[in-house]
Amino acid sequence: MVNPFDLLKNAQSIQGELQKIQEELKDISVVGSSGGGIVNVTMNGAFQLTAVRIDPIAVDPRDVPMLQDLIVSASHDAQKRVQEAIKEKMGPVLQGMNIPGLNLSGLLGGQ
C-alpha cells in the first residue's frame, strides 16, 4: 500500500522527472508491424504515426479490407511498443510504486 505522505514528500522530485521524461518521449520512435512485416508503421512517443510502409504485395484491389486490417494491427503493435518504452522510462521515477488507476500513457500526454 502506498503511503500518501511519502507521495507528497516526493511530489516535486517526481514532477521534475516526469517533465524530463516528456521531453525524452519526443525522441522515441518505434516500428509496429503486421503480416510478417508486410505493413510497418512508425510511431513517436506521443502516439502519433510518423510513417507507414506497405509492401506492394499487400496491395490487392480485390482485398482492401485485409490491407486495412493489417494497418490497424501494425498501429496497435506500435502503440504497445510506445507504452512499453514509457513504462521503461517511468520505472525509475516511480520506483516500483503500484498506484491504482495510474494510466502512464494518459499521464504523459498519450492516448
CATH of the domain at 40: 3.30.1310.10
- Write down the H helix ranges in the chain: 4-9, 11-25, 64-94, 104-107
Supply the range of the domain harboring residue 50: 4-94
Within 10 Å of residue 19's Cβ, how many Cβ atoms?
Answer: 10
Residue 99 inside a domain? The answer is no
**Total domains, the chain:** 1
In the block, residue with C-alpha cell 504523459 = 108
Residues 34, 41: Cα–Cα separation, whole Å? 9
Residue 65 inside a domain? The answer is yes
- Which has more pLDDT, 96 or 33? 33
Q: Looking at residue 2, what is its pLDDT?
A: 67
Residue 111 inside a domain? The answer is no
Q: Looking at residue 27, what is its pLDDT?
A: 86
Q: What are phi and psi of 79, to 5 degrees?
A: -60, -45
Q: Looking at residue 107, what is its pLDDT?
A: 45
Cell of 80: 504497445
Q: Looking at residue 100, what is its pLDDT?
A: 53
Q: Tally the C-alpha atoms within 13 A of residue 28's C-alpha that lie toward its C-beta.
A: 27
Model pTM above 0.85: no
pLDDT in tens, 20-66: 877 888 788 999 999 999 999 999 988 999 999 999 998 988 999 99
